[in-house]
Each structure stands twice: as C-alpha cells, then as structure tokens.
Structure 1
Amino acid sequence: MIESSSLPADPGELHLCISYADDLRDTPDADTLEQWDVAIRHRRRVHEARRCPSSPGECPSDDCPANVVDDVAVGSMTFYRVHLDRGCNAYVAMEELSEDLSEIAHVLLDPATGYYTDEAGELLAYSGSALLVMDRVTLDEGWRGHGLGVILAAEAIFRLMPGCRAVACSPGVSDLSANRLRERSEFDRVTTSIAEGWEKIGFLLYRDNVYLLSPTSLVLEEQRALLRREFVELGASWAAQARR
C-alpha cells in the first residue's frame, strides 16, 4: 500500500475548483489569452466547541450540530488557453505577459504570424488550434512528495485541453522558499524530479526545456486512469493509518 503517513490530512478530500475571470476588456490580447485558475482545496470537518450543546467529553461527534465543513486552499495551478486564431498576435501577447510564457512562445510560435512554427506543427496532430500552457502548479509543503501534483494536474489538463492542439509547459521550481533549494545540486534534483512527473503523463521534451503533450495522445488518458487508482490507494492508506 502507498505510504501516506506524512500527509497532513485525508487526501481523498482534495478537490479542484476551476475558474476563469472575464474582465470584459475590449482589447485584442484579452481575446487571445485566457487565464484559467485552478484552486486545490481540501475539505475537512471541524468541531466548533463553542457551538456544541453537549458538555465537554460527552459530545456525540458524528451527529453534533457543531460540526462544520472547512474548505481550505492547499495549492493552486495556473493555465493559459492561448487562441492563435483570434485577437492579436499570440507570440507578441505571450512575450508581453511574462518571461515564462515568452520562453514557450519563442520555441513554439512564429513571431511573424503568431501561429505554430512549421516544425512544431508537423509534430502535432490537428485537434483544435489553441495552445494550453500549464504555467504554475504549487502545493503547500505538507502535501508534497506523494505525487499529488501530477495526479491533480492531469485532471486539470483533461478538463481544459478540449479545442487545443498542444499542451505545453516548462518545468521548474516556482517556490524557492525552502533553504535547501538554494544549493544548486538540490535545485537540479528537484527540477529533474518535476520534469519526470510531467513525462509520466505524456509530456515530451521538445526543445530548450519546453515540453509538449498532444491532446490526441493516448498516454494522458491511460496514465490518468492509473493515477486515479493511485489517488484512491493513497486515501485508503491514509484512512487505514488514521484508524491505528
């Protein structure tokens, strides 16, 4: 059974909230770039003693009206759906928004047209025209180290990729708060581990640290089924250890 003793709470209560906020800006880049935010949240039942009608130690905890569900954020993901066929030049829009998006645009898109380069286009089966960029995946420190980032990212990608010809990412460390990551060897080890996680769901290195996943590939669908089983096993392991 998968080891889960170091997790802070039941992983089976994790869930995703996917949202897109439209600022209703009448600008070409607003039609080209859509930012999709994914909140990683955890449900837990909390007993509020001040609302409990029973005396201390006599509360029937399962049915107590003082039990409330607390839904807290434990991580987040940021994706961009880049529409190459509307608004402004997608290459320019990505270059202006952030250095990370610019890095991906330089590798995949033609600066003159904003469309996929001929080289990239030859690799990608047609399943739509848009580009989905996985920009950030972060989890609170207590939830790291169990493969949950990959499991949750696979679910988010599956929901957001319809209409896209490619999914792209540039693996790296977004949270540099840990002192251990200030050492180059440890930073490289963590970065390599992150890239291996994305390769697990079908991302392949294309060029210059830009990884590509084709929505038509069966790898994501196959791995998603395996990852869902791992997720269930992780929850079962946590529950079994919690009963001890």
Structure 2
Amino acid sequence: MIEPSSLPGDPSELHLRICYDDELLDTQQADTLERWNVAVLHRRRTHVEGQDLVPSSGCGTADCLAGTVEDVAVGEMTFYRVHLDRGRNAYWAMEEESEELYETARVLLDPKTGFFTSEVGELLDYVGSALLVMDRVTLDPQWRGHGLAAVLGTEAIHRLMPGCRAIACSPGITDLSSQRLTDRSEWDRVNAKIAHGWESIGFRLYRDNIYLVTPASQDLEDQRGVLRRRLAELGASWRASSPDGLHRRDENHRAGRDAGG
C-alpha cells in the first residue's frame, strides 16, 4: 500500500535535467571520461501575495494571474560515460578521476589494456563499447523512502546508455549527515536496502560491491515500465490525499466545465 502523506509534493511533477559540460579540453583524459550531471527538479506551483510565495492552494480562483511555477532542485545524480576505445587507458583515467571510479576500474578493467577483463567480457552482450558508471544518486531527505531514486535513476540510465556495453554502480550511503547511521547494524540495513533497490531494476553483484547490468537486459526494460506505473500511482495517491492536490483537481474540473468539457 502506498502512503504518500510524507511526500512534500506531487511526485508526478519531478523531472530531470541532464547536462554535460564540455570544457573543450584537447586531452586524452577528456576523450575517455565524460561526466554527466543530472539535476532532479520538482515543478512547484505557488501563489504570489505581495512579495510572499504561498502554496497554490492559497489561490481561490482557477484563472488567478498571481500564480507562478518554479523548478526546485530536490536531488542530483552523477554519471560517467567511460570510452574504452579512445583517448587514454580507461583504467588509469578512472584512477586519476576519483577513488570511487578507481574501485570500479580495479574490478572491471584490465590495467594493461584499459578494456574489460576477459571474465567481465564473457558476461556482457556486444551492444556497445563504453562503460556507464552511475557514480552518485542523492535525493533530499523528505523525498526518500518511496523508491523514487530507482525511478529517476532508471530514466537517466535509459537516456545515457546508448553505445554502452555495461552499466556499473556501487550501492551505498553517500549522505553521511544522518546521526542515526552511527550504529553499525543500521548502517548495514540502509546499505542493503539501497542495494536491493538497484537489484530490483536488474543490477547484479559482480564482485567487491560492484554491480553490473547490460543495456540489453530485459529486466532493465521491463522494470522501467513498472517504475513508471509506480510513479503515476504515487502521484495519484498524493493528489487524492493532499489539500493542495485536491484544490488543483477542483481547479482543473472548473476549467474543464468553463471550456464546455
């Protein structure tokens, strides 16, 4: 049963802004590694009273001219597209970029060639040559606990995976600010829950906390549909229970009636 009461807004209004900053660096490192930044944005409707913004439920008319819409950042993701067949040796390019990428390279790549090890290669379909690394996925605390990271991560993966032979991630806690995670058992429980979320969309543990999925995986495609339906259900439940959602539904009904619908 979905309980959306703790969500701070309509999850149907979440969307992604995927950006690659090309610094025009003529280096082998830049040719090998592409960093893609994904902003998780929530489209918020507000009503202006003087200089103050209040929830859209504060507006009593459907044609109010004081309404405004703004995109509010509620999370972010970082991906790396690693080109194994151009630029420098990808193993050492990843080692130079960050400790997290180096841990992935150590498990998946041959340091001599920069390509997948023969063992890893045997697991992968020939659907591309690059490696997509899901480096970081974070949501603001009030948006957590509803499976939205998997929903949003899956959408970003589908936009970025063309030309890739494998997608890798290393599930774990990145937000260390929570005091409740000082207990080891709670730390392990949360990490296991995060890993289970990525397993649900097709990732499988390969070794040393490195999880893999191939873009050719039918699980990945099937779960995208499942997660999209879940997002729609979360949105419908939020609108059915939230005062702001009920108000917007009434506004839409009045607008349809005025238009003869």
Aligned equivalents of 1:168, 1:99: Cα separation in 2: 15
Question: Shift in Å at residue 240 of structure 1?
Answer: 0.5
Aligned residue number for residue 67 of structure 1: 67
Unmatched 5+ residue regions in structure 2? 53-57, 247-261
- Can you list the C-alpha shifts for 1:138-171, whole angstroms capped at 9, x where unaligned? 0000000000000110110011101000000011
SS of the aligned residue for 2:105 comes to helix
Contact 1:35–1:78 (CA under 8 A) maintained in structure 2: yes
Contact 1:76–1:137 (CA under 8 A) maintained in structure 2: yes
Aligned residue number for residue 80 of structure 2: 80
SS of the aligned residue for 2:122 comes to helix
Give the TM-score normalised by structure 1.
0.95
AA at the equivalent of 1:195? A
AA at the equivalent of 2:239? A
Question: Shift in Å at residue 60 of structure 1?
Answer: 4.2
Give the TM-score normalised by structure 2.
0.89
Aligned residue number for residue 188 of structure 1: 188
RMSD over equivalenced CA pairs, Å: 1.4
AA at the equivalent of 2:103? E
SS of the aligned residue for 1:48 comes to strand
Aligned equivalents of 1:148, 1:98: Cα separation in 2: 27
SS of the aligned residue for 1:5 comes to helix
Aligned residue number for residue 230 of structure 1: 230
Aligned equivalents of 2:91, 2:62: Cα separation in 1: 55
Aligned equivalents of 1:205, 1:110: Cα separation in 2: 19
SS of the aligned residue for 1:101 comes to helix
Aligned residue number for residue 254 of structure 2: none
AA at the equivalent of 2:229? R
Pair 1:59–1:191, CA change in 2 (3 A)? closer
Aligned residue number for residue 149 of structure 1: 149
SS of the aligned residue for 1:128 comes to coil
Contact 1:32–1:84 (CA under 8 A) maintained in structure 2: yes
Aligned equivalents of 1:124, 1:181: Cα separation in 2: 36
Contact 2:168–2:210 (CA under 8 A) maintained in structure 1: yes
- Can you list the C-alpha shifts for 1:75-127, whole angstroms capped at 9, x where unaligned? 00000000000000000000111111000000000000100000000100100
Pair 1:59–1:136, CA change in 2 (3 A)? closer
Pair 1:68–1:84, CA change in 2 (3 A)? same
SS of the aligned residue for 1:34 comes to strand
SS of the aligned residue for 2:188 comes to helix
SS of the aligned residue for 2:129 comes to strand
Aligned residue number for residue 38 of structure 1: 38
SS of the aligned residue for 2:4 comes to coil
Question: Shift in Å at residue 61 of structure 1?
Answer: 3.7
Matched residues, percent identical? 66
Aligned equivalents of 1:73, 1:206: Cα separation in 2: 33
Aligned length: 239
Contact 1:77–1:135 (CA under 8 A) maintained in structure 2: yes
Contact 1:133–1:168 (CA under 8 A) maintained in structure 2: yes
Aligned residue number for residue 158 of structure 1: 158
Unmatched 5+ residue regions in structure 1? 53-57
Contact 2:7–2:143 (CA under 8 A) maintained in structure 1: yes
Question: Shift in Å at residue 70 of structure 1?
Answer: 1.5
Contact 1:51–1:66 (CA under 8 A) maintained in structure 2: no
Question: Which portions of structure 1, spanning 4 or more consecutive aligned residues, are displaced by more than 3 angstroms?
Answer: 58-61
Aligned residue number for residue 97 of structure 2: 97
Question: Shift in Å at residue 59 of structure 1?
Answer: 5.8
